[in-house]
Amino acid sequence: MYSGKEDKDYFLIAEIKSVNSSDGFLCVRSHSDSAERFLHLEKVFIDIFGGMRKFKVEDVIIDRQLILIKFLNFDTSEDVSFLVGKKVFVEKTDILKIDEESNTFFIHDLIGCKVVRNDKYIGVLEEVLSLPANDVYVVKDEEGGEILIPAVKDFVLKIDIKNKVLTLVPGKFDIYDDEN
């Protein structure tokens, strides 16, 4: 779960889920489609006590869906246990480049998009839930309620990042139609 509220100079790439071994490796859940992106990291940033702290990456192991990361000079499970539950960020200069034709977007670019369907305003995209099957967009409507929208082609017609507009497929969410 991510709300997009981090500093503009840092971008969320993962969350530390658990200590993996006694030698300081941590298991992380990626917020990226590419696990291999972790193999090229030299440093990451973690918010500790309200400030971004730099951690040098010593080693990364990718085993199927499991991503393990070890930080330089953190050599025991006791050294790293305080990091469990923390979010992992990279600097703006270290984010992956996205091909605009790929229909792939950064979460921070999606947050704040106006959501419309049939030219009718539905709400604002406030959060993206990263679930095993697919991401889910959390949209706040005008009354303050939440609408959950699967981030799949069956529901999302197009996303215009430049104008911050997410257009839903006509025919879905019929309870919001004026005609019904």
The reported pLDDT for the residue numbered 98 is 60
d(CA 41, CA 62): 13
62-92, pLDDT tens digit by residue?
987 789 999 999 999 999 999 999 999 988 7
Nearest CA-CA partner of 12 in 26, 28, 27, 25: 28
Please return the burial class of 180, using the count of CB atoms within 10 Å of its CB with bins 0-12, 13-18 and 19+: exposed
Domains, the chain, in order of start with CATH, read 10-93 (2.40.30.60), 107-174 (2.30.30.240)
Q: What is the pTM of this model?
A: 0.60
H or E, element range at 76: none
The reported pLDDT for the residue numbered 102 is 62
Report residues of the chain scoring pLDDT below 50.
Answer: 1-6, 175, 177-180
